[in-house]
Structure 1
Amino acid sequence: MSIWLRILPYVGAVLLFVGLLFGAYHHGVSVTDDKWQAQWAERDTRDEAARAANESAARVREQSYQHAIDKAVQDGQRTIDQLTADAAAERASRNGVQLEADKLAARLAASQDGVNSCTAASSAAASRAVLVLADVLKRADERAGDLAGYADQSHARGLTCERSFSAISQ
């Protein structure tokens, strides 16, 4: 046992030294972990601030896009409303012209009533041809007016769509 008593202080010193080394190592690991944790927290804070700034900028950009689209739609609707009003005015003037054509055809038919019988048959055929021609022209004019109105509105809608696209693609 005497050997153990002599070795015991050395073993205690070695154990104390190993304990001190482990404590120093553990302290270094803790300090390094705390340092990295602080850097990660700082990075997370910067990332969150950048995300918030990007989100805010994206919202502003989205609102400006929506404002531009709304303006293009309002302008387009104003154009379409103007075209609709113009088409209605044109239709009213066209109806007046067609009414005058109908009156002229009726006068032509009435003027042919008192003509002698030889020329009455040829005049009746001619007045029927004039009435048919007037009816065909009236229908063609109506259809042309309708198609012009559709074309004008389609053109206005296309321009509105183009303006909206241009507003968001800039």
Structure 2
Amino acid sequence: MNGLAARFLAFAMLEITLGYGAYKFGRTLTDAEWQARWAEQGEFQARARTAAELSARIEEQRRQAAINQVGRDARVQNQVAAIDATGANAAGERLHVAVAKLAIGVGGCTADTDAARRSQTATRAAMVLSNLFQRADDRAGELAKAYDAARIAGQACEVAFDRLTKSRS
């Protein structure tokens, strides 16, 4: 029995060794498979991150170009408004000169002293009205400039908002 027990023990040891070897081999294959999947997933994530960064850069450049264009358009509109205001100021100035000439011409030479006094009073009233008209016209010009600037800025803001919030067309 001694020989049989030794054989049995040797056979059992061989089975344990083979079982452990098969287990170790299976575990090594599983680990290698998981490491390959892990590396593949890492590469996929790196490619996805690179693509996302590129997409974000392109979108940022698109938005910046849109904002730059809105700014250029607003500056052009402001220049046009300034040119229009200059023309309106010149026309207003010509009108002021004409009104002042009319105010001065109200009082004419007359031999009648009462008429001369009335004429001086009318001349002063016409000059006051002319001055009042000029001040009102100047103020209207200032308000028009402010309105034009606010309108242009508001429209530029609206266009910028629309271009920034809309996705790429």
TM-score > 0.5 by shorter chain: yes
TM-score, structure 1 length as denominator?
0.86
Which residue is 2:59 aligned to? 61
Q: Work out the number of aligned pairs and report it.
A: 166
State percent identity of aligned pairs.
Answer: 31
Is 1:164 equivalent to 2:152 in the alignment? no
Query: 1:6 Cα shift?
Result: 5.5
> Which residues in structure 2 correspond to 1:5-154 (within 5 Å)?
7-109=5-107, 111=108, 114-154=110-150
Structure 1 unaligned blocks of 5 or more:
none
Query: 1:100 Cα shift?
Result: 2.5
Q: Structure 2: which amino acid aligns with 1:14?
A: A
Q: Structure 2: which amino acid aligns with 1:146?
A: E
TM-score, structure 2 length as denominator?
0.86
Counterpart CA distance in 1 for 2:106 and 2:115 is: 14
Q: Structure 1: which amino acid aligns with 2:90?
A: A
Larger RCO, structures 1/2 (Cα 8 Å, 6+ apart): 1
The RMSD of aligned alpha carbons is 2.1
Structure 2 unaligned blocks of 5 or more:
none
Q: Secondary structure at the match of 1:63?
A: helix
Q: Structure 2: which amino acid aligns with 1:134?
A: S
Q: Structure 2: which amino acid aligns with 1:153?
A: A
